[in-house]
């Protein structure tokens, strides 16, 4: 980093993660490809401050990430929060495949009742293999980080992990049909007005901005990829 004009320690990089991940994710969603309408919904377990928490995730049948949410509990209320968040951002699915979780099926029925919709529920465990396999990337990165100390920091760090994972899957719309590398995609997001540059770096000279965005890109991909 010193070669790029910055002298920082690992705690500074972690603060960047917590601070910038929401902005980068917001910029990404403006360029995210619309997912399919047949979802696979599941939750996995992660430790935060030595206690198990629940990470809800959904992908479409192509394996593209739809949404995610870290919750303290695994119940109908948590599942409904996640489902509402995912639908508000991506639109209503025609079908949601889940395992035999009664909480998830109850949450879908409650959503239908509250919004006068009809989402088909399919409970077929082997069809959820695609989302269960997709959990592995997140859990592999979390193991390398040796767990999380705070719930909010865990949520923001997971957002960074999921962002890089979605970029790797090719979920960001191409600019003028030109394919971009992972680093080019991340840099393009960070340089957007809704990303890092427009929010934090406006007072810095252009060269200094470019150095910072390059450094952020390199270290974010190393940390999350």
Token pair 């080019």: residue: 184
What pLDDT score does 57 carry? 96
User: Can you say whether the dihedral through the CA atoms of 142, 145, 148, 153 is positive or negative?
Assistant: negative
CB atoms within 10 A of CB 117: 12
What CA–CA distance (Å, rounded) separates 78 from 37? 22
- pTM to 2 decimals? 0.83
Give the pLDDT score at 197: 46
**pLDDT on residue 92:** 95
From first to last of the 225 residues of the chain, give the pLDDT tens digit: 455 555 555 666 667 667 777 888 888 888 899 999 999 999 999 999 989 999 999 999 999 999 999 999 999 999 999 999 999 999 999 999 998 889 999 999 999 999 999 999 999 888 889 999 999 888 888 887 777 888 988 898 898 889 889 988 989 887 666 778 888 887 787 776 555 544 454 554 554 555 555 656 655 666 665
Instruction: Give the residue carrying structure tokens 């997001």.
Output: 189
Number of Cβ within a 10 Å radius of residue 134: 20
Domains of the chain: 1-31+176-225 (no CATH), 32-149 (3.30.420.10)
Question: For position 112, what pLDDT does the model report?
Answer: 96
The contacts of residue 213 (CB under 8 Å, 6+ apart) are 187, 190, 191, 196, 197, 201
**Structure confidence at residue 217 (pLDDT):** 62
User: With contact defined as beta carbons under 8 Å apart, do 190 and 184 qualify?
Assistant: no
Cα diameter, the chain: 58
Give the pLDDT score at 91.
94
Residue 68 confidence (pLDDT)? 96
Say what the alpha-carbon torsion angle 144, 215, 34, 168 is, to the nearest 10 degrees: -50
């Amino acid at each position: 980093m010193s070669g790029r004009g910055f002298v920082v320690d690992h705690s500074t990089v972690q603060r960047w993660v917590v601070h910038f991940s929401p902005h980068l994710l917001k910029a990404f969603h403006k360029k995210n490809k619309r997912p399919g309408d047949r979802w696979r919904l599941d939750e996995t377990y992660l430790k935060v401050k030595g206690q198990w928490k629940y990470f809800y995730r959904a992908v479409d049948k192509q394996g593209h990430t739809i949404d995610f949410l870290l919750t303290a509990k695994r119940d109908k209320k948590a599942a409904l929060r996640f489902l509402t968040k995912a639908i508000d951002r991506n639109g209503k699915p025609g079908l949601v495949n889940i395992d035999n979780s009664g909480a998830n099926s109850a949450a879908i029925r409650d959503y239908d009742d509250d919004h006068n919709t009809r989402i088909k529920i399919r409970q077929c465990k082997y069809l959820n293999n695609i989302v269960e396999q997709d959990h592995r990337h997140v859990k592999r990165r979390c193991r390398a980080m040796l767990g999380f100390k705070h719930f909010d920091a865990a949520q923001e760090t997971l957002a960074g992990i999921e962002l890089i994972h979605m970029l790797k899957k090719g979920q960001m719309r191409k600019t003028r049909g030109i394919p971009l590398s992972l680093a080019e995609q991340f840099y393009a997001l960070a340089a957007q007005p809704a990303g890092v540059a427009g929010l934090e770096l406006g007072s810095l000279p252009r060269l200094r901005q470019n150095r910072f965005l390059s450094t952020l890109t390199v270290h974010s991909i190393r940390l999350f990829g």
